[in-house]
């Protein structure tokens, strides 16, 4: 088995093998249908959009990719403490027929070397539907234990039944500078990773929103430049993302969600996705302007990541 450590655009043969590998993963929709992830002509474009230092690990044997792991260097900002270098790790994925072999272990061993050369923390978001949890395959044969350190709720609001306004709401629009400042202020009580730029990955112009009372902020974007979601019938799902979403007042947050839904629907998006701290959902759900269908997700950490923190996570980075 060969572990490719990819940090630039893959060669055509490797790109083709990666595309074939990706086509074997299907993800369920609530309708009973499924979709796959299409990274387009460059499998690494999404990782490249997340910063200058990144790596795609790909396990290959007999010309077939058996598993992958995505790593991107960031900074972890714990509440009330100095930021620390951290690697954001997207879910490790292994083909079904390779799950009882050494593929995951080999990827983790290589990732440990990459991470420790750059950072003192590792953070990963894992949806509960994923049967492969980090705590089940780490903590042995020299692999650092990846621990459960927090929980978030993944929200996906369908937009097709919402009334389409003739133009997006004019209020709340802010500059990127003001948006980042508002996020730093409102996110101060939470653990979070440094936000990345939406420009390299978003087809719709990224748009910052700040509530008029300053108690909620967010950025609307999509990832369609680097990731497309294609159903088994060939149609494209077009979610928008509410990233850098933080608030101190649930009423202001509900106003921001309503404005974001209208903007995303006007841009032709089919849904609005974002993460919430698990304990924040009830304060938004009852009087929300739209249903807030949710599914749980877990935050895993390793090395110096403490437990007991409340997390803010950007869905657009996962």
**Cβ count near 131 (within 10 Å):** 7
Residue carrying the six token digits 């599914």: 295
Instruction: State the pLDDT at residue 82.
Output: 93
pLDDT at 132 over 70: no
Which H helix or E strand runs over 251?
Answer: helix 250-266
Which one of 3.40.1000, 1.20.1440, 3.30.420, 3.40.630 gives the CATH number of domain 153-296+305-317? Answer: 3.40.630
Least confident of 82-91, 217-226, 275-284: 275-284
Q: Residue 33's pLDDT band (boundaries 50, 70, 90)?
A: confident
Q: What pLDDT shows up at residue 28?
A: 84
pLDDT surpassing 90 at residue 18? yes
CB 158 within 8 A of CB 265: no
Q: Look up tokens 């420790």; give the residue.
A: 116
Residues 6+ apart with CB under 8 A from 23: 36
Burial, 14: exposed, middle or buried (Cβ in 10 Å; 0-12, 13-18, 19+)? middle
State yes or no: pLDDT of 63 exceeds 60: yes
Residue 20 region by backbone torsions, left for phi larger than 0, else alpha for psi between -120 and 50, else beta: alpha
Per-residue confidence at 43, pLDDT binned at 50, 70, 90? very high
Domain limits of the chain? 2-150, 153-296+305-317
Query: Are the C-beta atoms of residues 46 and 226 closer than 8 Å to each other?
Result: yes
pLDDT at 104: 85
Q: Are 282 and 249 in contact (CB under 8 A)?
A: no
Q: What is the structure's pLDDT at 137? A: 64
Confidence of residue 179 (pLDDT cuts 50, 70, 90): very high
Burial of 311 from C-beta contacts in 10 A (0-12 / 13-18 / 19+): buried
Per-residue pLDDT at 290 exceeds 60: no
- Asked if pLDDT for residue 232 goes beyond 60, the answer is yes
Domains 2-150 and 153-296+305-317 in one fold: yes
Q: Which of 218, 191, 187, 217 is nearest to 311 (CA)?
A: 191
pLDDT for 81 equals 92
Residue range 22-46: mean pLDDT, rounded? 89
Residue 142: the pLDDT is 64
- Per-residue pLDDT band for 207 (boundaries 50, 70, 90) equals very high
Q: What is the chain's mean pLDDT, rounded?
A: 89
pTM of the model: 0.90
Look-up of token digits 């657009």: 316
CATH 3.40.630.30 matches 2-150: yes
Residue of higher predicted confidence among 231 and 96: 231
205 pLDDT band, cuts 50/70/90, is: very high
DSSP E strands in the chain: the ranges are 2-6, 27-28, 34-38, 54-61, 64-77, 84-89, 93-94, 121-127, 147-158, 173-174, 191-193, 207-210, 216-221, 228-231, 236-237, 239-247, 271-277, 294-303, 311-312
């Amino acid at each position: 088995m060969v572990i490719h450590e990819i940090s630039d655009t893959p060669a055509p043969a490797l790109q083709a093998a990666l595309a074939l590998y990706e086509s074997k993963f299907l993800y369920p929709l609530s309708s009973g249908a499924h979709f796959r992830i299409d990274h387009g002509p460059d499998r690494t474009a999404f990782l490249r959009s997340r910063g200058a230092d990144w790596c795609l690990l790909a396990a290959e044997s007999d010309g077939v990719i058996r598993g992958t792991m995505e790593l991107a260097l960031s900074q972890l900002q714990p509440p009330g403490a100095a930021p620390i270098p951290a690697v954001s790790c997207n879910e490790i994925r292994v083909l079904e027929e390779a799950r009882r072999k050494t593929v995951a272990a080999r990827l983790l061993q290589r990732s440990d070397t990459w991470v420790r050369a750059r950072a003192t923390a590792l953070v990963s978001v894992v949806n509960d539907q994923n049967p492969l949890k980090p705590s089940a395959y780490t903590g042995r044969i020299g692999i650092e234990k990846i621990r459960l350190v927090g929980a978030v709720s993944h929200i996906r609001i369908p937009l097709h039944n919402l009334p389409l306004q003739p133009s997006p709401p004019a209020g709340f629009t802010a500059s990127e500078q003001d948006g980042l400042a508002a996020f730093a202020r409102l996110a101060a009580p939470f653990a979070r990773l440094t936000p990345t730029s939406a420009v390299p990955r978003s087809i719709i112009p990224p748009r910052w929103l700040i509530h008029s009372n300053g108690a909620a902020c967010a950025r609307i974007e999509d990832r369609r430049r680097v990731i497309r979601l294609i159903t088994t019938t060939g149609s494209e799902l077009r979610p928008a993302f509410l990233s850098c979403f933080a608030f101190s007042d649930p009423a202001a947050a509900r106003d921001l969600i309503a404005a974001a839904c209208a903007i995303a629907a006007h841009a032709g998006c089919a849904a609005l996705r974002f993460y919430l701290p698990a304990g924040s959902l009830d304060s938004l759900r009852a009087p929300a302007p739209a249903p807030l269908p949710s599914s749980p997700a877990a935050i895993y950490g390793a090395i110096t990541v403490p437990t007991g923190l409340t997390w803010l996570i950007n869905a657009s980075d996962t």
